[in-house]
Amino acid sequence: MKAACFIRRIRQIRDSTSLRRSPIAMATVLINEIPVEIGPSETLNCIQAAQRAGVEIPSYCWHPEMSVVASCRMCLVEVGDKKPDGTIAMQGKLFPGCQTPVKDGTVIVSNSEKVKAAQKATLEYLLLNHPLDCPVCDQAGECGLQDYSYEYGRGYSRLQEPKNIKPDKNDIGDQITLFTDRCIMCTRCVRFTREISGTAELQIVSRGTHEEIDIFPGDPCNNKLAGNVVDLCPVGALCSKDFLYEQRVWWLKTKNSVCPGCSTGCSITVDQNEDVLHRLKPRVNEQAQGHFMCDDGRFGWKYVHSEQRLTRPEQRSQGTLVAHDWETVLPALRKKLQDATRHAPSKFAVVISPWATVEEAYLLAKYAKTLTSQARLAIGPVRRIGADDLYPKDVHGQPALPAKFVIRAEKCPNRRGVEAVLQNLQGSVVEFSQILDQISRGEIETLFVLGGDPAGWIREEDVEKLKNLKLLVVEDLLESAASRQADFVLPGAAWAEKDGSFVNHNGLAQAIHRALRGPQEARPDGRILMDLSERKGLFHAPTLRSEIGREIPALAALSIGELGELGVMLQTPIVTEKPRLQPT
């Protein structure tokens, strides 16, 4: 009897354990008869659920990072419930998909005649007073109103009365202008300034057909995230003054890249035509910055086309820098470096800017160590301005935690990547200030500097110390006091002119892609270093990343070569979800 009870008890425990281990049932939603499974912890609306089924529910006012207002009425759908017995009960009226959460058994219909009629009516209403500015509008070619009118609209207007024309507002911000009569009052821009930047410059004035987007007199929309309202505007109402009437968007060629303005490492797209950069726009990447980017990065790329760019390789001859072709300069430089390291192997140093890519840092550091194992490797100056700038702000201008966007005080894109290379090849990370001190004491005679920071890498008062060197090589982007003093000048490329990868403050490695060619004879730095070190083959960033990942444990994640559109994490993130203010 006791044995039977014991066995029965064991079976009960086993059965209860198996029940506990059974997988949790997923909620199932039907979108146009397509089943979609929703995770137990997920909260999705109809638009998000439909996206998983590959179904588009059009919308203007909804944005995943901002509050729901359901004002555009473009996302109206039929909603119902599937009962346990399999029957479906549909609601009698249409519901805004952005405002309607889904649950197990929710049924969504977005392609019925009832929904199509509502979409046509909504578009007709939005177009009542919309001007026919498409031939001159900057948004033409990527306009939500154009796309939806073609896909869901009526194709003609029944309006017989004159359109309501409103004056444009060119003074709404230093970088943005408002074409008032194009606005469809989605209020995305207003909600952005209230919920993301927290500065609340934009507002709605008046009511009914007279309502407009406006600012309080004397308080323009000039916060550091203001340019994002141009991206958020689904029509051509808010436009960038920097890009206004510059290009038609169908002429632009686009490449994915990473903003180098700070260590946040915003994922962006680079738009250019005929090797002229015209604009940067953010790409959605939750591992990096989310959906937005700051104006410093958005408009701070003009140095790419600066007249101060280095354009030809130069070699000093009889006290004067003389321009030569690459086939003359690189062999001469290679011989000079070999002679210098053979004569004084312990007096050779290399400085690598945190604006260099991981691949460039690896190539130069590896080459230096093949010249002499005593080569000193240092990281260039890491610019820091103030403290991290967190958004949104409260009414007192202080950050309201948790932060939704951070502009980092560290103004370089790849400090962590360069440090990982130096740490592996040298065992420590030497700062540039230490190199300057060693030059002053006569401990370094040969210096190779890989620059790239548009703000410069050396102060005027430190340039005099470089006169103690017997050989100075500068590979840089812009002309400087150091380049004018150098024995060899190698014109490198800006970040938009080369392939490679950056590692942001949180250990996210992202690929940058060459979007345009450099001026005249300037070359991508990776190609220069490959030729200088006489490595076989052409520079190919994914192949080189695979080699780096195999050799440097801290960068092992790069061994996959191709990093994808969103990048890869090197290790567990080192910052918390709520960023803290950092000291100056």
Q: Which domains does the chain have, with CATH numbers?
A: 27-123 (3.10.20.740), 127-251 (3.30.70.20), 316-383+411-494+525-569 (3.40.50.740)
Distant-in-sequence, close-in-space partners of 328: CB < 8 Å, separation ≥ 6: 315
Distant-in-sequence, close-in-space partners of 57: CB < 8 Å, separation ≥ 6: 46, 47, 50, 75, 77, 97, 110
Lookup: tokens for 468: 């103690």
Distant-in-sequence, close-in-space partners of 82: CB < 8 Å, separation ≥ 6: 30, 88, 105, 106, 107
The H-assigned helical ranges of 344-475 are 358-371, 415-426, 432-440, 460-463
- Residue 170, pLDDT score: 93
Distant-in-sequence, close-in-space partners of 214: CB < 8 Å, separation ≥ 6: 169, 172, 202, 203, 204, 205
- Residue 155, pLDDT score: 81
- Residue 15, pLDDT score: 54
Residue 570's closest CA among 560, 559, 556, 580?
556
Lookup: tokens for 323: 């321009």
Cis peptide before 392 (omega within 30 of 0): yes
Distance CA 189, CA 192 (A): 5
- Residue 461, pLDDT score: 84
Residue 194's closest CA among 46, 70, 63, 386?
63
Distant-in-sequence, close-in-space partners of 404: CB < 8 Å, separation ≥ 6: 65, 195, 196, 290, 391, 392
End-to-end CA, the chain: 77
Cis peptide before 217 (omega within 30 of 0): no
Lookup: tokens for 447: 């210096």
Collapse the DSSP code of 475 into the 3-class scheme (helix H, G, I; strand E, B; otherwise coil) and give the result.
strand
State how far the alpha carbon of 257 is from the alpha carbons of 222, 281, 510, 511, in Å: 26, 10, 8, 7
Distant-in-sequence, close-in-space partners of 26: CB < 8 Å, separation ≥ 6: 37, 38, 39, 40
Distance CA 269, CA 16 (A): 54
Q: What is the pLDDT along the chain (584 residues), one digit of tens a residue?
A: 455 554 565 455 455 544 444 456 688 999 999 999 998 888 999 999 999 999 999 999 999 999 999 999 999 999 999 988 888 999 999 999 999 999 999 999 999 999 999 999 999 999 999 998 999 999 999 999 999 999 999 888 888 888 888 999 999 999 999 999 999 999 999 999 999 999 999 999 999 888 999 999 889 999 999 999 999 999 999 999 999 999 999 999 999 999 999 999 999 999 999 999 999 999 999 999 999 999 999 999 999 999 999 999 999 998 899 999 999 999 999 999 999 999 999 999 999 999 999 999 999 999 999 999 999 999 999 999 999 999 999 988 899 989 999 999 999 999 999 999 999 999 999 999 999 999 999 999 999 999 999 999 998 888 999 999 999 999 999 999 999 999 999 999 999 999 999 999 999 999 999 999 999 999 999 999 999 999 999 999 999 999 999 999 999 999 999 999 999 999 744 433 333 333 33
Residue 264's closest CA among 236, 237, 239, 296?
296
Secondary structure element (H or E) that encloses residue 314, with its range? strand 314-317
Decide if 267 contacts 305 (C-beta within 8 A): no
Decide if 427 contacts 331 (C-beta within 8 A): no
